[in-house]
Amino acid sequence: MTLSVDSGVVVLARAAWPESDVDIRPPELPMFVRSSFSPLVAEVAARCLRRHHGAPPVDPETGERTAVVVLSVAGDVVTSAEMVAAVDQGERLAPMLFFQSVPNTAVGHVAATWGLAGPVVCLSPPGDPAAGPPAFEDTALDYATELISDGDADRVLVLVIEQGEATGDEDRAAAMLVTGPGLEDQ
């Protein structure tokens, strides 16, 4: 089932975190420690992609033309706080924390697992992280629409992620796989 949205794209699949009372913490992700940010990216992306494509990887032709847009106002606040604390205390920074502090690292994991080879865009717009998904969905969809209309991608996996530590609430994430009108069967 596909849904048209006002931004001019067609939604092929959606996913969220949490989706049920069972969603307490996303599954651990190898090589990503202490923070839920990267596991959230991987889990919500996998849920969305599985709903449309089944098991990874996607067909190579489809993967070649699938971009990823990640939007987070606050980013990985847990990793950032640990890095700041280490610097403030004059301690050596754990290499794993530096590695996972870049949002592209989690997206790279998703892209490698699913065979996505299109452009990757990571955004941090101004605003209140507590407004999180779906409030920033429109901004992310604007970038997705631009990637499709410019011919840079046929499909875009849109991810909006905010950790509970940034919002004073629980971890929240939304994912949508979108395409342009008339591209649904490609």
| 3-state DSSP of the chain | CCEECCCCCEEEEEEEECCCCCCCCCCCCCCCCCCCHHHHHHHHHHHHHHHHHCCCCCCHHHHHCEEEEEECCCCCHHHHHHHHHHHHCCCCCCHHHHHHCCHHHHHHHHHHHHCCCCCEEEECCCCCHHHCCCCCHHHHHHHHHHHHHCCCCCEEEEEEEECHHHHCCCCEEEEEEEECCCCCCC
* Residue-averaged pLDDT of the chain: 80
Q: Give the highest mean pLDDT range of 28-32, 51-55, 96-100.
A: 51-55
Q: Between 116 and 97, where is the model more confident?
A: 116
Give the pLDDT of residue 54: 97
Average pLDDT over residues 107-131: 85
Asked whether residue 12 is assigned to any structural domain, the reply reads yes
Asked whether residue 171 is assigned to any structural domain, the reply reads yes
What residue numbers bound the domain in which 142 lies? 3-179
Asked whether residue 186 is assigned to any structural domain, the reply reads no
Asked whether residue 87 is assigned to any structural domain, the reply reads yes
Q: Tokens 């590695």 map to which residue?
A: 99
Share of the chain above pLDDT 90, in %: 35
Average pLDDT over residues 44-64: 96
Asked whether residue 184 is assigned to any structural domain, the reply reads no
Q: Between 91 and 67, where is the model more confident?
A: 67
Q: How many domains does the chain have?
A: 1
Q: What is Dmax (Cα atoms) for the chain?
A: 56
What tens digit of pLDDT does each residue of 6-34 get? Answer: 567 899 999 999 898 777 777 776 666 56
Using alpha carbons, select from 102, 149, 97 the residue that is nearest to residue 122. 102
Q: State pTM to two decimals.
A: 0.82
Give the pLDDT of residue 165: 65
Asked whether residue 93 is assigned to any structural domain, the reply reads yes
Q: Between 43 and 32, where is the model more confident?
A: 43
Give the pLDDT of residue 141: 83
Q: How confident is residue 90, by pLDDT bands cut at 50, 70 and 90?
A: confident
Give the pLDDT of residue 4: 39
Give the pLDDT of residue 30: 67
CATH of residue 152's domain is: 3.40.47.10
Whether 161 and 74 have beta carbons less than 8 Å apart is answered as no
What tens digit of pLDDT does each residue of 123-173 get? Answer: 877 676 666 555 556 777 888 999 999 999 999 999 988 877 666 678 888
